[in-house]
Amino acid sequence: MQLIPCPWCGPREEAEFHYGGQAHVAYPSDPSALSDEEWAQYVFFRDNPSGPFAERWSHSAGCRRWFNAVRDTRTHDLLAVYRVGEPMPEVAS
């Protein structure tokens, strides 16, 4: 089990958190204008890198707030955590 540093509560056990997948996937600004291909990309296709990945977590058994993290998917190391609305920090890959 790893410790995940919640930006509000500090480091807590992983079991307190809920995973939310890729971060910064914006809802389409003009949904009715989307083609089937574009809808498929929005609904089903996500980045799946081997390396740093910006993703969402929720501190569901703590403050219950969502936040973002950059985590290396090869080592599972959390490289940065940041609050919703903040830009993704630069990380060394």
Partner 1 sequence: MQLPEHPDFLWDDPEPKASYDVVIVGGGGHGLATAYYLAKVHGIRNVAVLEKGWLAGGNMARNTTIIRSNYLWDESSGIYEHSLKLWEGLEEDLGYPILFDQRGVLNLAHSLQDVRDSVRRVNANRLNGIDAEWVDPQGVKEICPIVNVSPDVRYPVLGATYQPRAGIAKHDYVAWGYARAAHAMGVDLIQNCEVTGLETAGGRITAVETSRGRIAAGRVGLCAAGHSSVLAAMVGLRLPLASHPLQALVSELLEPVHPTVVMSNAVHVYVSQAHKGELVMGAGIDSYNGYGQRGSFHIIEQQMAAALELFPVFARAHLLRTWAGIVDVSPDASPIVGLTPVGGLYLNCGWGTGGFKATPGVGDCFAHTIAHDKPHPFNEPFTLERFTTGALVDEHGAAAVAH
Residues in contact with partner 1 by CB under 8 A are 1-2, 13-15, 18-19, 21, 36-37, 39-41, 43-50, 53, 55, 71, 73-76
CB nearer partner 1, residue 46 or residue 83: 46
Strand stretches in the chain, DSSP E: 3-6, 10-13, 18-22, 52-58, 66-72, 78-83
In whole angstroms, how far apart are CA 49 and each of 3, 13, 55, 73? 22, 25, 11, 7
- The nearest distance, CB 91 to partner 1, in angstroms, is 16
CB nearer partner 1, residue 7 or residue 69: 69
CB nearer partner 1, residue 18 or residue 24: 18
